[in-house]
Homo-oligomer: A and B are copies of this chain.
């Protein structure tokens, strides 16, 4: 259904999401900084945020607990950078699909679903942390991310609504509920997809088809 690699590049982020405000701490090289983030992602995925100690991460990096604080401000900070990065990626996909011209509502939706599935599967560890430990963030930071989450919900709902009004999709289902089901199909992959056992292209295609059928119905 879809092969153009819009998403592939979007992995380049993590930017300066930190804010980097603190004086006299001379942010370390991006290289090492990313290694830290990577290690955290892996370990948070394996043990969960709450059950991961700063020690665990330091151990994994082969440095002392105290040394880790050269790269992070707090443990929560690390989580935020992770989730914020993941969210930025996911948001990027929405932007790119939305910018694509000449697509009908169903085509746009299908492209969106495909891309998100690909991303989720490629980064299921990050996605897992995203959905498991989002609540461990402080309120402020949760809101910051939640705001952007709603954009996705709105965008998908609108595409379904358009399609229904254009007679392209059966209209017995509430577009908002259909949207929720689509997200379910996309997101849930992080709980069951296992590289090696499951083939990515097959899963992406099958899940996209499942979701689209659920929306379109027998028009």
Chain A residues with a Cβ under 8 A of chain B:
23-24, 26, 48, 50-51, 55, 58-59, 64-65, 131-132, 135-136, 172-174, 177-178, 180-181, 183-185, 187-189, 191-192, 202-203, 206-207, 209-211, 213-218
Contacts and interface: CB of A to CB of B under 8 A. Distances in A.
Contacts of A132: 132
Enumerate the 5 nearest inter-chain pairs by beta-carbon distance, A residue then B residue, closest first.
A50-B50, A184-B188, A210-B214, A184-B184, A24-B59
Counting every copy of the chain, the complex holds 4
26 contacts: A24-B55, A24-B58, A24-B64, A24-B65, A26-B64, A48-B50, A51-B136, A131-B191, A132-B132, A177-B203, A178-B206, A181-B185, A181-B188, A181-B207, A181-B211, A183-B192, A184-B185, A185-B185, A188-B188, A209-B217, A210-B214, A210-B215, A213-B213, A213-B214, A213-B216, A218-B218
A180 B172 CA distance: 24
Nearest to A55: B24
B135 A48 contact: yes
Contacts of A189: 180, 184
Contacts of A192: 180, 183
A217 B24 CA distance: 56
Contacts of A215: 210
B173 A210 contact: yes
A84 B215 CA distance: 35
